[in-house]
Chain A
Amino acid sequence: GAGVSQSPSNKVTEKGKDVELRCDPISGHTALYWYRQSLGQGLEFLIYFQGNSAPDKSGLPSDRFSAERTGGSVSTLTIQRTQQEDSAVYLCASSLVVAGGPGTDTQYFGPGTRLTVL
């Protein structure tokens, strides 16, 4: 079916507000990743889901960031009390994680959500 989709594509919010970003992975992909790309920077890993569980949350920048995934599909990244330094493009990727075989864990990226915190 379709590739990874993310919504909204753009979000402008005021400092201190909460925002929720959504990611719909490719159907059947068990692994889901969140990254962010700040202006002029590379991709910064945030969190990874295998199914509904996130074994490694150490990449989240602060406790204002949280993510969940339900039903092994859609994931939401929530940023509470947004700050200006949270402004970035937030990218979601999914991969088919099965044992063995090259390319099975290649990540397929969504178009991203551009977050601007005023």
Chain B
Amino acid sequence: DQQVKQNSPSLSVQEGRISILNCDYTNSMFDYFLWYKKYPAEGPTFLISISSIKDKNEDGRFTVFLNKSAKHLSLHIVPSQPGDSAVYFCAASEKYNYGQNFVFGPGTRLSVLP
């Protein structure tokens, strides 16, 4: 049973528009969430994180929103650029349990069309 779900395997967006990537989780003990970006033939790279004490975290064009009651988070990219085309993984952990592994979602492939 997947604890972290990304129900959209792929998403296509026009350059300059907003990309919204969604992630849902089932474990109410998760309190730290991260987004990773992965290009082909490379390892994932950390993008942005959010802890459960916040409902929004912004870093440049990237904003992550957390809705704890709905166990849902989303990553907004605006404006989207062709270089943003990659697979985006949502990950969750019980942050203050340092022996705990991160649980990753299956990923969403974003294609930003020029």
Contacts and interface: CB of A to CB of B under 8 A. Distances in A.
Q: Are these two chains actual partners, yes or no?
A: yes
Interface of A: 4, 31, 33, 35, 41-43, 45, 48, 50, 55-56, 59, 91, 93, 97, 99, 102-103, 105-112
Interface in B39-68: 41-46, 49, 51
Q: DSSP class of B's interface residues: helix, strand, loop or mixed? A: loop
Interface in B61-106: 89, 93, 95, 98-99, 101-106
Interface of B: 6, 32, 34, 36, 41-46, 49, 51, 89, 93, 95, 98-99, 101-107
B49 A103 contact: yes
Sort A-B residue pairs by CB-CB distance and give the 6 closest, nearest first.
Answer: A109-B43, A42-B106, A43-B104, A45-B101, A109-B44, A106-B46
Contacts of A105: 32, 93, 95, 98
A107 B102 contact: yes
A33 B46 contact: no
A62 to B, nearest CB: 18
A55 B99 CA distance: 7
11 contacts: A33-B102, A42-B104, A42-B106, A43-B104, A55-B99, A56-B99, A91-B44, A111-B42, A111-B43, A112-B42, A112-B43
B104 A33 contact: no
B98 A50 contact: yes
B16 to A, nearest CB: 29
Among B34, B51, B99, the one with the most A-chain Cβ atoms within 10 Å of its Cβ is B99
A59 B42 CA distance: 23
A50 B93 contact: no
Given A35-B104, A42-B104, A102-B51, A48 B99 contact: yes
Contacts of B51: 102
Contacts of A48: 99, 101
B66 to A, nearest CB: 13
Contacts of A102: 32, 49, 51
